[in-house]
């Protein structure tokens, strides 16, 4: 069965620090990859997605992620975080051959202090 | 353009009761998926509806059932509620002719079973 692992449960950073959140998935075939963010009191929003092509994808608010197929990874990065980035971040995977469901990781809570 | 809307936002039910949650998809979307998000966990896929039929189902018991109406709105029904059914229930819409794409999430319904 497909699964998604997010390595960090809670990350605490100061403003302007760099961010990298790890995500690994277990599925050997073609995958679509996503990072979603949930700001306090708001609904899940898409940060970025990878379907095919350039493995380095750029999303909203200065976030980017790199798909490394050989490592089954899709890590999220941001060079300089802001207080407003405080949120919960979810990595999600879809395996088209298995249907259209999204499989989510458990999430990483990011706290940014000003 | 309204996004995904869910009702109610909160409700409290007693063990053994039945509950119905409702979802209106984003305009132009024809596919609705339901997810359960327990506290501290990522969303877990329950099932997906397209063309008024259940297209894919996750690992949830038959107590969880659903329906999609001709206007693409959807209901999630849970029978014989258990304490463990307490969670945030998320609806996501996607598609256009059933194609997989970015999923847009509603704010969820917080169900508490006492």
Distance from CA of A97 to the nearest CA of B (A): 12
Identify which has the larger pLDDT, A63 or A101.
A63
CATH number at residue B103: 2.60.40.10
Cis peptide before A10 (omega within 30 of 0): no
Confidence of residue B97 (pLDDT cuts 50, 70, 90): low
Determine the distance from the C-alpha atom of residue A39 to the mean position of all C-alpha atoms in its chain, rounded to a whole number. 14
Question: Which has the closest alpha carbon to B33: A3, A101, A98, A1?
Answer: A101
Contact at CB, A106 and B92, closer than 8 angstroms: no
Strands B109-113 and B87-94 turn out to be antiparallel
Let me know the angle formed at the C-alpha of A76 by A73 and A81, rounded to the nearest 5 degrees. 160
CA–CA distance, A102 with A26 (Å, rounded to integer): 13
Q: Domain limits at A67?
A: 3-113
Question: Which has the closest alpha carbon to A74: A17, A2, A1, A24?
Answer: A24
CATH number at residue A15: 2.60.40.10
Q: How many domains, chain B?
A: 1
| B105 has pLDDT over 70 | yes
| A95 has pLDDT over 60 | yes
CA–CA distance, B107 with B3 (Å, rounded to integer): 10
Q: What is the tens place of the pLDDT at every residue in B12-41?
A: 999 999 999 999 999 989 999 999 999 989
Nearest to A43 among B44, B55, B107 (CB): B107
Q: How many domains, chain A?
A: 1
| B111 has pLDDT over 70 | yes
Contact at CB, A45 and B105, closer than 8 angstroms: yes
Cβ atoms B42, A107 nearer than 8 A: yes
Q: What is the tens place of the pLDDT at every residue in B37-87?
A: 999 899 999 999 999 999 999 999 999 999 999 999 999 999 999 999 999
| A22 has pLDDT over 60 | yes
| Token pair listed for B86 | 């307490």
Q: What is the pLDDT of residue B99?
A: 54
| Token pair listed for B94 | 């996607």
Q: What is the DSSP string of A1-29?
A: --EEEES-SEEEEETT--EEE-EEEE-SS
Q: What is the pLDDT of residue A74?
A: 97
Q: Which residues of A touch B106 (CB under 8 A)?
A: 43
3-class DSSP state for residue B84? helix
Distance from CA of A91 to the nearest CA of B (A): 9
Q: What is the pLDDT of residue A98?
A: 73
Confidence of residue B1 (pLDDT cuts 50, 70, 90): low
Q: Domain limits at B16?
A: 5-113
Q: Which residues of A touch B58 (CB under 8 A)?
A: 101
| B98 has pLDDT over 70 | no
Contact at CB, A102 and B4, closer than 8 angstroms: no
What is the mean pLDDT of the segment spanning A99-103?
86
Q: Which residues have a Cβ under 8 Å from the Cβ of A54 and sit 6 or more positions away?
A: none
Q: Which residues of A touch B31 (CB under 8 A)?
A: 100
Q: Which residues of B touch A96 (CB under 8 A)?
A: 100
What is the mean pLDDT of the segment spanning A71-82?
97
Percent of residues, chain A, with pLDDT higher than 90: 79
Let me know the angle formed at the C-alpha of B96 by B94 and B97, rounded to the nearest 5 degrees. 120
């Amino acid at each position: 069965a497909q699964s998604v692992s997010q390595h960090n449960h809670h990350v605490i950073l100061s403003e302007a620090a760099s961010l990298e959140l790890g995500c690994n998935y277990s599925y050997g075939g073609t995958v679509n990859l996503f990072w979603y963010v949930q700001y306090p009191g708001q609904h899940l929003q898409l940060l970025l997605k990878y379907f095919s092509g350039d493995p380095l994808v750029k999303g909203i608010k200065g976030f980017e992620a790199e798909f490394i197929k050989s490592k089954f990874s899709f890590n999220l990065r941001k060079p300089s975080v802001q207080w407003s980035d405080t949120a919960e971040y979810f990595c999600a995977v879809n395996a088209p051959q298995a249907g259209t469901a999204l499989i989510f990781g458990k999430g990483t809570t990011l706290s940014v202090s000003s | 353009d309204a996004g995904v809307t869910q009702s109610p936002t909160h409700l409290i039910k007693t063990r053994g009761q039945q509950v119905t949650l409702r979802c209106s998809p984003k305009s132009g979307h024809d596919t609705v998926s339901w997810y359960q998000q327990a506290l501290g966990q990522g969303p877990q896929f329950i099932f997906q509806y397209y063309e008024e039929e259940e297209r894919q189902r996750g690992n949830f018991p038959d107590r969880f059932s659903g329906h999609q109406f001709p206007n693409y709105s959807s209901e999630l029904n849970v029978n014989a509620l258990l304490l463990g059914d307490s969670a945030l229930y998320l609806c996501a819409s996607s598609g256009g002719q059933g194609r997989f794409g970015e999923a847009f999430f509603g704010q969820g319904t917080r169900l508490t079973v006492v």
